[in-house]
Amino acid sequence: RSSRNSSNYKIHSSTNQNEIHWIERLLDTPIPDGRKYSIWRILVPYLINRRHATEEQCFEIIIDWLDRCAQLSRLYFNADSRVRDAIKNVGTFGPVYPDKQKEEYPGLYELLVKYMIF
């Protein structure tokens, strides 16, 4: 795995109307839990269908984020296959928003509030 560099991470300009600020903050913030849900319900749909990243850009960005997350708390899943599966199955889905997240995964919602993502 290569670490993220500014050219493949910055797939957009800061004025891009497709940017969702709380998801950008999540990408900059490693979290100790809720990573699997974040991959398939937030990050992949956001990067592929909202930011229009290539599959490889999406993969690299999320793997870099997961590497930083693993420094807080060990990953108990295969990151490469989890991310590739999410990319393969994203379809046209958009990212889940905080109100739906609070309903589906209240623990992650509270964690993101604690980490000042929202």
pLDDT band at 27 (very low <50, low <70, confident <90, very high): very high
Q: Rounded to an integer, what is the distance from CA 92 to the centroid of its chain? A: 16
Provide the sign of the torsion angle of the four alpha carbons 59, 69, 92, 82, taken in this order: positive
Q: Is the pTM of this model over 0.85?
A: yes
Indicate the SS3 state at residue 4. coil
Average pLDDT over residues 63-91: 98
Lowest-pLDDT choice from 7-11, 69-73, 110-114: 7-11
Is residue 85 exposed (0-12), middle (13-18) or buried (19+ Cβ within 10 Å)?
middle
* Region of 116 on the Ramachandran plot (φ > 0 left; ψ -120 to 50 alpha; else beta): left
Collect all residues with Cβ–Cβ distance below 8 Å to 92 and sequence separation of at least 6.
Answer: 49
